[in-house]
């Protein structure tokens, strides 16, 4: 999971006027003195041969007024060599902005002989609409700045220079944020390369519109933003309190509030009453017509069960504490939750792979895809709150059949060392071999009070009760995280399945193994025999299969229904705060 660092808000309305004055005075001082300000921090970079390449791919319109050109050079070099910077909007890509303008001899990009060009207006429009991507327009060009572009036609050269530079920085900033995530841990896109793609596209406007991810998972979740933005604007969200659970066919004045909540969320209306979208194939008997607004009838039970299903609750139609808690959740929180999960979807990189496995940690669910089509799904068990399953992109490289279990150092330390301090013969009694610094060592000869758990290797032999079951699906990460079978199948029937020590237990290991090996000549019988033989055997994949362990607390399911899940690891709060 990307580590989010708190940053101060930049260039708000109060800061904007001070910033413009500072930039104006700075430019005047340099211009009067006739000084060409150097930028020592970037001195080596500005001499690179790549600058000429940028210039050749960027159309340059000759400006009549050379003062604008001089102002751009003066302002941009002043910013890169002093503390008078406009915050994150420039600083994040300062090196690239400097190189870009140097390559075009500091000619403006957005301002021509007839003023601001059409590309400028297209950029402003896209940034103003960035809230439809779950982003904050003020992170790129604050409202006051956008207003100045459109309403101020009598600008001094230094102001034109400032606004031109900030538009360029804003485009670099926005393009990368909307395409691969504002808080992505690993960035693959290069700001100037992205900028060149836009400026040389057949249609700059079309290029801007196609920057966000086009994958269905992103576009479908994005489509719910307008509904929740509208709900969030209405601050009169009805809330409910109960002293005891409300059961079907009971009467209470609270039914009107429940009906109103479900109506606003789209779970109850005339169409829903006749819907076949009932979860888990549940069938309800019809009530006789009862014209009592306080009666909990089957139509409303149907709507409540749909609501429960898409929030990961027990689907029983009983309105208890958890159901009420979710019904009372303010739409503004759900809106922020959708924005946070759009950001997470921008981080996912493997959905273009021919074959890939996706685990949604928060949903306790696995799906496997081939050529863009889902071919397999199953429940999973993930790490408990104190030992969470990490968010990562990885590859499945081999299958280890009838696996022994080498206990990770963290589990030795937290789960076994207290037992070994009481009984040093614990591992010998279980028949588990122990190595200390690579040497076979009886467990009772190790000081379990002071030993470094990383120096100890303990393995549980394969067998019907081995923790990894019949097969381990090996990944490449250094966190000892992998997918595996399990002898304990009962947990998959439960709604809440965050109970492991971090690895992912899969609900149908033979089916996942068949999916991975179906192109390598392994039959289902051969897989099951390997899983139960008791003889450890590795099977490497000819082509590793991408796997994504993501953490989505909001997404669209296979039937186009918006799903929410509890934030089991408490990761939403920080990301929501950072998204603004």
Phi, psi of 64 (to 5 degrees): -65, -45
Residues 475/394, Cβ–Cβ less than 8 Å: yes
Domain 349-579: what homologous superfamily? L,D-transpeptidase catalytic domain-like (2.40.440.10)
Q: Give the C-alpha separation, 458 to 431, whole Å.
A: 10
By C-alpha distance, which of 458, 433, 466 is closest to 532?
A: 466
Concatenated DSSP letters of 380-446: EEEE-TTSPPPPEEEEEEEEEES--EEPPHHHIIIIIHHHHHH-TTHHHHHT--EEETTEE--GGGS
From CA 429, how far away is CA 406, in angstroms rounded?
Answer: 17
* Distance from C-alpha of 366 to C-alpha of 361, rounded to nearest angstrom: 9
| Secondary structure tally for the chain: helices H, strands E | 23, 17
pLDDT at 568: 95
Domain boundaries, the chain: 13-212, 255-329, 349-579
Token pair 């029983």 in the structure block, residue: 316
φ/ψ of 424, rounded to 5, equals -60, -15
Q: What is the pLDDT along the chain (580 residues), one digit of tens a residue?
A: 444 443 333 344 444 444 455 454 444 434 433 333 323 233 334 344 444 444 435 555 555 588 999 999 998 888 877 655 566 667 778 889 999 999 999 999 999 888 888 999 999 999 999 999 999 999 998 888 888 777 766 788 998 998 999 999 999 999 999 999 999 887 888 999 999 999 999 999 999 999 999 999 999 999 999 999 999 998 889 999 999 999 999 999 999 999 999 999 999 875 544 444 445 444 444 544 456 889 999 999 999 999 999 999 999 999 999 999 999 999 999 999 999 999 999 998 777 778 999 999 999 999 999 998 999 999 999 999 999 999 999 999 999 999 999 998 989 999 999 999 999 999 999 999 999 999 999 999 999 999 999 999 999 999 888 999 999 999 999 999 999 999 999 999 999 999 999 999 999 999 999 999 998 999 999 999 999 999 999 999 999 999 999 999 999 999 999 999 999 999 999 999 888 7
Q: What angle do CA 52, 53, 56 make, to 5 degrees?
A: 85
DSSP annotation of 295 reads: B
What gap in Å lies between CA 560 and CA 564, rounded to an integer?
A: 13
At residue 376, φ and ψ (nearest 5 deg) are: -160, 145
Where on the phi/psi map is residue 509: left (φ > 0), alpha (ψ -120 to 50), or beta? alpha
Pairing of strands 471-474, 355-360: unpaired
Q: Which two tokens stand for residue 203?
A: 């249609």
Gap between the Cα atoms of 261 and 280, Å rounded: 23
Q: Note if the pTM is more than 0.85.
A: no
Tokens of 545: 């299969």
Instruction: Please give the distance of CA 293 from its chain centroid, rounded to a whole number.
Output: 42
For residue 358 the two structure tokens come to 């996706």
**H/E segment holding residue 222:** helix 216-222
DSSP lists the bridge partners of residue 539 as 399
For residue 58, what pLDDT is reported?
Answer: 55
Cβ neighbours around 464 below 10 Å, total = 9
What is the C-alpha to C-alpha distance for residues 95 and 531, in angstroms, rounded to an integer?
55
Distance separating alpha carbons of residues 123 and 6, to the nearest angstrom = 27
The number of beta carbons lying within 10 Å of the beta carbon of residue 110 is 23
Pairwise CA distance, residues 557 & 564, whole Å: 10
SS (H, E, C) 38-80: CCHHHCCHHHCCHHHHHHHCCCCCCCCCHHHHHHHHHHHHHHH
Q: Determine the pLDDT at residue 88.
A: 64
Max Cα–Cα distance, the chain, nearest Å: 90
pLDDT at 59: 54
């Amino acid at each position: 999971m990307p580590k989010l660092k708190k940053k101060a808000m930049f260039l708000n309305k109060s800061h904007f006027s001070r910033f413009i004055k500072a930039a104006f005075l700075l430019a005047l001082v340099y211009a009067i003195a006739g000084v060409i300000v150097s930028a020592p921090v970037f001195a080596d970079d500005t001499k690179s041969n790549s600058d000429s390449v940028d210039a050749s791919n960027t159309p340059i319109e000759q400006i009549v007024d050379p003062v604008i050109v001089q102002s751009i050079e003066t302002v941009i070099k002043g910013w890169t060599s002093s503390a008078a910077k406009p915050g994150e909007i420039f600083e994040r890509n300062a090196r690239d902005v400097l190189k870009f303008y140097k390559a075009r001899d500091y000619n403006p990009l957005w301002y021509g002989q007839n003023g601001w060009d059409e590309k400028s207006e297209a950029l402003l429009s896209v940034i103003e609409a960035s809230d439809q991507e779950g982003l904050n327009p003020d992170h790129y060009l604050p409202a006051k700045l956008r207003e100045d572009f459109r309403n101020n036609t009598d600008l001094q050269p230094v102001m034109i220079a400032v606004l031109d530079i900030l538009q360029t920085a804003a485009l670099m900033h926005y393009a990368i944020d909307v395409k691969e995530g504002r808080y992505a841990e690993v960035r693959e896109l290069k700001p100037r390369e992205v900028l060149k793609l836009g400026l040389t596209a057949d249609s700059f406007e079309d290029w801007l519109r196609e920057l966000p991810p086009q994958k269905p998972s992103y576009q479908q979740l994005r489509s719910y933003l307008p509904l929740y933005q509208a709900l969030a604007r209405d601050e009169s969200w009805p809330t409910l309190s109960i002293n005891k659970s409300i059961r079907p066919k009971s009467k209470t004045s609270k039914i009107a509030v429940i009906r109103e909540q479900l109506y606003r969320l789209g779970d109850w209306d005339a169409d829903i009453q006749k819907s076949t979208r009932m979860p888990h194939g549940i069938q309800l008997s019809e009530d006789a017509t009862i014209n009592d607004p306080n009666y909990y009838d089957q139509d409303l039970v149907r709507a409540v069960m749909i609501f429960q299903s898409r929030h990961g609750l027990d689907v029983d139609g009983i309105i208890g504490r958890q159901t009420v808690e979710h019904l009372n959740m303010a739409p503004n929180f759900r809106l922020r939750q959708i924005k946070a999960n759009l950001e997470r979807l921008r981080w996912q990189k493997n959905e273009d792979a021919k074959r890939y496995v996706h685990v949604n940690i928060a949903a306790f669910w696995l799906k496997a895809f081939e050529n863009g089509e889902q071919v397999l799904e199953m429940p999973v068990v993930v790490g408990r709150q104190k030992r969470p399953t990490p968010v990562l992109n990885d590859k499945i490289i081999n299958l280890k059949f009838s696996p022994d279990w080498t206990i990770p150092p963290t589990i030795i330390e937290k789960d076994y060392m207290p037992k070994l301090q009481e009984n040093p013969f614990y591992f010998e009694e279980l028949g588990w071999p122990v190595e200390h610094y690579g040497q076979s060592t009886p467990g009772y000869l190790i000081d379990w009070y002071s030993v470094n758990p990383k120096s100890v290797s303990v393995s549980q032999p394969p067998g019907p009760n081995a923790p990894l079951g019949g097969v381990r699906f090996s990944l490449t990460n250094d966190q000892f995280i992998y997918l595996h079978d399990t002898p304990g199948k009962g947990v998959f029937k439960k709604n809440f399945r965050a109970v492991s020590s971090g690895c992912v237990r899969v609900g149908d290991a033979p089916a996942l193994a068949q999916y991975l090996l179906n192109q390598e000549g392994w039959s289902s019988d051969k897989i099951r025999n390997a899983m139960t033989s008791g003889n450890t055997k590795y099977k490497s994949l000819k082509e590793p299969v991408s796997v994504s362990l993501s953490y989505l607390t909001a997404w669209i399911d296979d039937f186009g229904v918006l799903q929410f899940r509890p934030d089991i690891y408490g990761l939403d709060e920080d990301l929501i705060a950072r998204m603004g």
